[in-house]
Structure 1
C-alpha cells in the first residue's frame, strides 16, 4: 500500500479566548498538530494530568487557575510534557516567572505564526519526540515542516494556502472532505468565505500536481466535496465508471 496517515502530535491547548483557540487550531492542524482545547485553568489541569499529550500550550490569564500555578502543579505531579506559555503579558518578570514555574518556553502575543510552529517543533526535538510526520498518497508526498510537496522525485511549488488545502485532503486519503470542512480548517468561520473559494484552490492544485503528469489525484464527488486518491485508485474508479456506463 502506498498510502499512510501520519500520527498527529497531540497538543492540549488551554486558552480562555475561544476565537484565538479556534485560530490556533485552524493554523496548527494542517502542520500535523492535533489540537484538544480546554477553556479554563481547572479543567485544563485535569486534562493535563489525566491525558497523554505530546505538548501543552497555555495562557497565563486563565479562569479558575493561573497558567503559572498550572505549570507548577503539572511539574509537581511529575509530568515532563513540554509546555509553552502563550501570553500577552510581556514583562521580563512575567516571562521569568513563567519559566521558573515549569514552562519550557514563553511566547508573547501577538506573534508570527511561523515562529510558534518553529518553537513547538524545537520543544519536541529537545524532548526527544519526533516532529509531525509527512504524508504520502500514491507518488504524491508532502512535508508539513517545510510546506513542500513532491510528485515522485519532482518538487511542485505551492503557495501556503494551496499546501494547506492539499494537506487537509491528505489527512483523509480516499475519503471525501467537504468544502465547509476545508474552509473551517483554513479560514476563520467568521471570514465569510464562499465555498467557491475552495474550487479556485482545487483548480490551481490540479494544474500544478496533476496536469503535468496527466494523472488524477483530486477527485470531485458531486454534491459532497473532494477526495485525494492514488493513481491506482483513480484508474480503478475510471475503469468502474467506464464499465457501468451505458453503451
Structure 2
C-alpha cells in the first residue's frame, strides 16, 4: 500500500512538472494511458490516481471517451497549486509570498492610478468605507474579505487581466496575512486603515508614483509581522483560499 502510494505521488510530481515546463502544452492532449504506463514504469492504478489528482487541481481536463487535455491555468488552478509550490512553510514562505506581492501590487497601484475608471474609483471608495467600518466594529471577521476585494479591485483597475488573476491566486494567503497582521493589535489595525486611505487617495488623484510608494510602504509594514513556525499559511476552511 505504501509503495503504491509512493508511486502515485512520484508520477503526480513528474506529470505536474511536465505541465509547468511546457512539455505538456496548454490545450494539448497528453499521451495515452498505455504510453504513460510505459513512460513512468508504474501500474495503471498509479497512473489513474495521479491523473485524478491533477484533475482535482484543475490542471487536466478528463472527459469520458476523449483523450485528456491540459487546461488553461487560471486563478483557481493557481490557487490550488500555490500550497504545493510553497512547500517550505513558516516564515520563509510568508516572506517569499510578500516579495511576490510587492512586485505585483506596487505595479497594480501605479497602473490603477493611471487607468482606473470613475466606476472603479467609486467601488474602491465603497470598499474603503466598508473596510474602515469592519476594522472598527468587528475586528477581522469581515475585514479580511473586504481587504482582499480592495486589493483585487485595484488590480482590475490596471486593465491588465493578468494582475487580478495572479493576485486572486494568492487570495488565501492575502486573507491570512491581513488577519495575522492585525489580529489583537489595535495599532496595526489603525495603520492598515490609514494605509488603505493613502493608497485610495493616490489612485483618486491619478498620482501613479505616490500610489506605488503607498502600496509598497503598506506591504513592507505588513511583512514585519513574524509568524509561529507551526502556523499554517493557507487555511483549508477558508473558501477564499481555493
TM over 0.5: no
Structure showing greater relative contact order (alpha-carbon pairs closer than 8 Å, 6 or more residues apart) = 2
Q: Scaled by the length of structure 2, what TM-score is found?
A: 0.25
Higher helix share: 2
Higher strand share: 1
